[in-house]
Amino acid sequence: MEIREIQDKVRKEEYEISLHAEKERYAEDVSINDLESAIYNGDILEDYTDDPRGPSCLILGYSKNRPIHIVCGHSSTKWIRVITVYIPKLPKWIDERTRAKGGKKDA
């Protein structure tokens, strides 16, 4: 997946948020504006090309100086599907770019 494609589809509102991502978004107090801002200024941190559920990627972006991780894939209609959203923190993450030892991939 390419970050520009994801950003373009989000700008065109050609994306959907999974139920799981909605629950995580609420739990982490991440608004839709925060989510979109993080995608617009984000970069792909990890690419999951071989995921059995379909190719996806982990985006790291920021909103209000807060790091946000967003896992995205494609929906059946070729829209972007937000799979999960969370704030990177221990025990899985040392900082927003560094996995903790034993911290497994989230996709």
**Domain assignment present for 83:** yes
Flag whether pLDDT at 107 surpasses 60. no
pTM for this prediction: 0.92
**Domain assignment present for 99:** no
**Domain assignment present for 102:** no
**Confidence (pLDDT) at 104:** 64
- The percent of residues above 90 in pLDDT, for the chain, comes to 83
Tokens linked to 69: 């991780």
**Domain assignment present for 104:** no
Total domains in the fold of the chain: 1
**Confidence (pLDDT) at 75:** 87
**Domain assignment present for 106:** no
Q: At 10, phi and psi to the nearest 5?
A: -65, -40
The burial of 59, by beta-carbon neighbours within 10 Å (0-12 exposed, 13-18 middle, 19 or more buried), is given as: buried
Contact 105, 46 (CB under 8 A): yes
**Domain assignment present for 105:** no
In angstroms, rounded to a whole number, what is the distance separating the alpha carbons of residues 41 and 88?
A: 17
In angstroms, rounded to a whole number, what is the distance separating the alpha carbons of residues 44 and 57?
A: 7
**Domain assignment present for 71:** yes
**Domain assignment present for 7:** yes
